[in-house]
Amino acid sequence: MGKKLVIVGSGAGGASVAAEAKRRDPDLDVLMIEQGDYTSVAA
Amino acid sequence: MPYYIGDVIQDEDKLVARTPERFRDGGIEVLTRTSVMEINAKESLVQLGDGSRVKYDILAVGTGTIPILPGIPGQDLEGVFTLKRLNDAIRIKARIEEKPVREAAIIGAGFISMEMCENLRRRHIKTTVINMGALPVTRWDPIFSKKAQEELDRNGVITLTGTKTQNIEKGADGRLHLTTTVGELVVDLLILAIGVKPDVQLAAAAGIPLGKTGAIQVDFSQKTSPGNIYAVGDCCEVFNRVSKRWVHIPLGDIANKQGRVAGRNIGGSPMLFPGIVAAQSFRLFDLEMAATGIDEREAAQAGFHPVSTVIWGNALAGPMPGNSSVGIKLIADQSTGKLLGAQAIGGAGAVSRINTLSCALWAGLGLDEVAYLDLAYAPPFSPSWDPIHVAAQDLLKKI
């Protein structure tokens, strides 16, 4: 496994980090943590 | 989300750009309903609500904003809402659909409040805006804010200006009884839309430096001061290309771009975030309102010598049917003749003109260039001298 990326929050910003980092480096171990029920909500 | 509450968008799933399942399909692990209690930057780990700890090599903070509450007794009563999370929107919509909601009030008169007015009226709910100030949407020149107020009036929205809410109580009738500085108001639904502040609690406790705005300080690669911690979106600052200052402008389109830039830097394809010009728009019933760049006050603070003009023109070529009036305000620097900001309002063509002027700001154009910009003229879309040209030529007289 590659480096561990932890993302706090899955709104527009956090969700974009997750998707783009994984796209650029598929070896990244990505964990996104969301306190609510939904990810990637368009406000 | 206001349009979901107004049932323009019917299905809440349509507001979710990507579900946890789709992230997981892409090899991204997702925990929902999970709170982060602490970021330990020294040991590079986060502590979760269940007490477990997760080590990281790289951390990205995207904690967003939290609504500013007015601090009124009763603000946490059932039937009182903020509009921040999708769950808030779902709860508001459920209340409207399950209970008889005949009357609603909104505290605050920013653009979220305006979007809510349109959508509550769409549902035939009697709506009152409680505004501490004299005019709504104060980012815009008072000339334009007055037009917004007229649009509210025209659509049956009641406005209380210079009014403070002092107390909220649940009456024996089950409704919300508001005590305000101008009297009592009884409603079935109350929305608190005063504004938001960056949610920086975790970051600040971890010693991640904040900027002057109170949001997390980042560099152009979205890095914070501990170099393995990034911040993106509404919780952090962003560079305004016009004022050359770091500002806090919580908007989803900016968050998307900052997130992508951070993701590239983390994933080994480095890129710098180019900044923003603070373009913004919203719709209020039959009006488009949009703004970009900075206003006179921000310009003066940034060391410019602002001059401005407001002109009214036709959205389309004069003889075209369905024409409407569009107002354009331009702000420029008297010393250099450079465009600094623009605002627009109208039944059509206000947002598209602000987009054009955002490009001009991005490129650092002078008013003399804006006055002769080659735009896509045809009678159904604009006069041959577009209101942009007219405004720029008018303002040039003051340079």
Q: pLDDT (tens digit, 9 = 90+) per residue, B133-157?
A: 999 999 999 999 999 999 999 999 9
Query: For B70-87, how does the pLDDT look when each residue is reduced to its tens digit (9 = 90+)?
Result: 999 999 999 999 999 899
CB distance B294 to B305 below 8 Å: no
Across the interface, do B59 and A5 touch by the CB < 8 Å criterion? Answer: yes
**pLDDT (tens digit per residue) in B229-263:** 999 999 999 999 999 999 999 999 999 999 999 99
The verdict on a CB contact (< 8 Å) between B262 and A21 is yes
Stated pTM of the model:
0.95
Would you state the CATH architecture of domain B69-194?
3-Layer(bba) Sandwich (3.50)
Interchain pair B19, A40: CB under 8 A: yes
A41: DSSP letter:
B
Rounded to whole angstroms, the Cα distance separating B224 from B296 reads: 31
Task: Report the distance separating Cα B221 and Cα B213, nearest Å.
Answer: 19
Residues 37-56 of B with CB under 8 A from A: 39, 46, 48, 54-56
Q: What is the pLDDT of residue B99?
A: 85
Put simply, whether A24 touches B (Cβ < 8 Å) is yes
Give me the pLDDT at residue B100, please.
87
Distance, in Å, from the CA atom of B168 to the CA atom of B165, rounded to the nearest integer, reads 8
The answer to whether residue B127 scores a pLDDT higher than 70 is yes
How many whole angstroms separate alpha carbon B251 and alpha carbon A12?
9
Query: Among B54, B19, B24, B17, which Cα is nearest to B39's?
Result: B54
The pLDDT of residue B202: 98
Residue-level pLDDT at A43: 66
What is the second-level CATH architecture of the domain B280-396? Answer: 3-Layer(bba) Sandwich (3.50)
B230 vs A contacts (CB less than 8 Å): 17
- CB within 8 Å: B36 and A21: no
The 10s digit of each residue's pLDDT in B177-200 is 999 999 999 999 999 999 999 999
For residue B370, which of B336, B395, B350, B348 has the smallest C-alpha distance?
B395
Find the closest chain B residue to A43 by CA distance: B1
Out of B31, B56, B262, whose CB is closest to A34? B31
Contact flag A16-B256 (C-beta cutoff 8 Å): yes
Quote ipTM for the complex: 0.97
| CB–CB contact B31 A4 (8 Å) | no
**Which residues in chain A have their CB less than 8 angstroms from residue B234's CB?**
11, 13
Q: Mean pLDDT throughout B334-351?
A: 97
Q: Which helix (H) or strand (E) holds B205?
A: helix B201-205
**Euclidean distance between CA atoms B204 and B39, whole angstroms:** 9
Query: DSSP states of B91-148 as a string?
Result: HHHHHHHHTT--EEEEE--SHHHHHHHHHHHHTT-EEEEE-SSSSS-TTS-HHHHHHH
Domain locations in chain B as residue ranges: 69-194, 280-396
Domain B69-194 and domain B280-396 have a common topology: yes
How close B50 gets to chain A, by Cα (Å)? 12
Please name the member of A4, A10, A40 whose beta carbon is closest to the beta carbon of B56.
A4
Chain A: nearest CA to B64, how far in angstroms? 7
Query: How high is the pLDDT of residue A1?
Result: 66
Q: Residue B69: which of B86, B81, B51 has the closest Cα? A: B81
